[in-house]
Structure 1
Amino acid sequence: MSNGPVLAQLMGQAEEEGADLITLRAIVEEAGELGAVRALKHLGLDDANAAKDMAELRELLAAWRDAKRSVLKAAIGWLVRLGCALLLIGIAVRTGFSGWVK
């Protein structure tokens, strides 16, 4: 499906008629559609499976974001626990708890 000839025809018509607003809008529409088709073809998304591929990519990206968020939460949780443990050890040393243990 190529819109190139349609675009060339509209450009010729605009030149002959003095380029009225409707013709120019049609040229812009056809050029935009042609550019979008070319971009999708360049990306390899011009086949029947493109919608499925994009859905899978979005799902994969969402899973990646969830995994990053989970790792960040886990790391923060461990750092908080480590800080609390160090605080408790410091309090125990400061209050002489080591003497109680002996």
Structure 2
Amino acid sequence: MSDELVLAQLIEQAEGDGADLATLRAIAEEAGELGATRALARLGLADAGAAKDMAELRELLGAWRDAKRSALKGAFQWAGRMLAALVLVGLAVKLGFPGWLK
């Protein structure tokens, strides 16, 4: 039995029974499942390979985040080394190091 038929039957039952709490909860649950199924189908994630595809996408996203973090870390380390080198060159010039080489 399809989800749409179950939902239609539950709505008819609710109308006939005066809509008790259990029937309304069942309607809400079936409507939620039907909506989720439709949303997954529209996104192209309703097939059997969708779980594998999502796992691969999560793995790819994790790798991208790691690469981005490593690149930023490397850039900051490089900038820190350049700053330290400039400070050392500045100190050497200030202390007269070029005169020592003569």
Q: TM-score, normalised by structure 1?
A: 0.96
**Percent of residue pairs identical:** 70
Q: Show structure 1 runs of 4+ deviating over 2 A.
A: none
Higher relative contact order (CA 8 A, sep 6+): 1
d(CA) in 1 for partners of 2:69, 2:85:
24
Q: CA RMSD in A?
A: 1.0
d(CA) in 2 for partners of 1:2, 1:46:
15
Q: TM-score, normalised by structure 2?
A: 0.96
Q: How does 1:21-100 map to 2 (within 5 A)?
A: 21-100=21-100
Instruction: For residues 44-101 of structure 1, give each alpha carbon's deviation from its aligned partner in whole angstroms, at most 9, with x where no partner exists.
Output: 0000101110110010000000000000010001000000000001100111111111
Aligned residues: 102
**Which runs of 5 or more residues in structure 1 are unaligned?**
none
